[in-house]
Homo-oligomer: A and B are copies of this chain.
């Protein structure tokens, strides 16, 4: 999988695991709902600040997200 796609797919997976809708996740991170969709479809890349906000809302560590991404892409 391409790197740009990996973050979006891990974000989506974590969101669904927590039974969040895109709206609910966007609300808890104080970002626009469409931004979550753009991230999940890899149309946007998040800054580190956004990564930490998303991870706080999803109760997962950013390092865990990156461990999953590393397992999905050829480093």
Q: Residues on A close to B: CB < 8 A?
A: 3-4, 7, 45-49, 52, 56, 61-67, 69-70, 73, 75
Contact = CB atoms under 8 A, between A and B. Distances in A.
Given A45-B47, A47-B45, A62 B66 contact: yes
Total copies of the chain: 2
Contacts of A75: 52, 56, 61
Contacts of A63: 63-64, 66-67, 70
A69 to B, nearest CB: 7
B70 A3 contact: no
Please indicate which of the listed interface residues A3, A4, A48, A75 has the most CB atoms of chain B within 10 Å of its own CB: A48
A66 B67 CA distance: 10
